[in-house]
Amino acid sequence: MKRAAVENTRSRILIVDDHPLVRTGLRLLIDCESDLSVCGEAANATEAMRLLESQKPDLLIVDLSLKESSGLELIKRIKARNPETKMLVSSMFEESLYAERVLSAGALGYVHKQEGQERVIEAIRCVLSGRVWLSTAMSDRMLRRMTASQAVPSQSPVHTLSDRELEVFEQIGRGCATKDIARQLHLSIKTVETHREKIKAKLGLKSAAELNRAAFQWVAEQGG
């Protein structure tokens, strides 16, 4: 079979991650599979949207932490513009905190970056087939919540944050000032300040210093 014919039978995947080494590793992993190929790499949301239009990928693998915007907002944007696009999140962040958020935003799966290569490929094929991919533990947790047959383990206060509040919390933990967060998330400084106050209230924090410490610790625990 000619090379062009072989390429036409492979599912096309776009990688969206701001770490070059991660993109390279995923490309090497994916391109080794006879039914998969990487059609492009994007380091930010702007590049992702451009390549989405030009390459028409069958699947996007999206990191949640991007330099110019959050992966969660990118997923929402893509879903609104291209409802049929399949997306799989690959992140270092806690699955129990983000899994339901990414599914609600429009992705079909969540795979932690610490998973083995076989699991990553399995997750890719699962989402390409139109099925949801989550870890067994997360799937069980969601089923228990739906059936209410068992008590769901208590969650940390961070789980109570809205998607936008969580994005602001992450940026605080990365050492970003309010004006930088506003620019990064395309918000006004006043809106970011309002989010900061809501986050403090939800997490039971009394000062900006306590908020900064909590955010720094959380990002460090997530491996960010």
CATH number at residue 179: 1.10.10.10
Q: 3-class DSSP state for residue 186?
A: coil
Residue 127 is part of which domain span? 3-144
Strands 36-42 and 11-16: parallel
Dihedral angle computed from the Cα positions of residues 70, 176, 170 and 29, in that order, rounded to the nearest 10 degrees: 50
Q: What is the pTM of this model?
A: 0.75
Question: Does residue 151 belong to any structural domain of this protein?
Answer: no
Q: Do 82 and 105 reside in the same domain of the chain?
A: yes
Question: Residue 165 corresponds to which tokens in the numbers above?
Answer: 């509040």
Both ends of the chain: CA-CA distance in Å? 44
Q: What does the pLDDT profile of the chain (224 residues) look like in tens digits?
A: 455 545 568 999 999 999 999 999 999 999 999 999 999 999 999 999 999 999 999 999 999 988 777 899 999 999 999 999 999 999 998 888 899 899 999 999 999 999 999 999 999 999 999 999 998 888 887 777 666 655 555 567 888 899 899 989 989 988 889 999 898 888 899 999 999 999 999 999 888 898 989 888 888 887 65
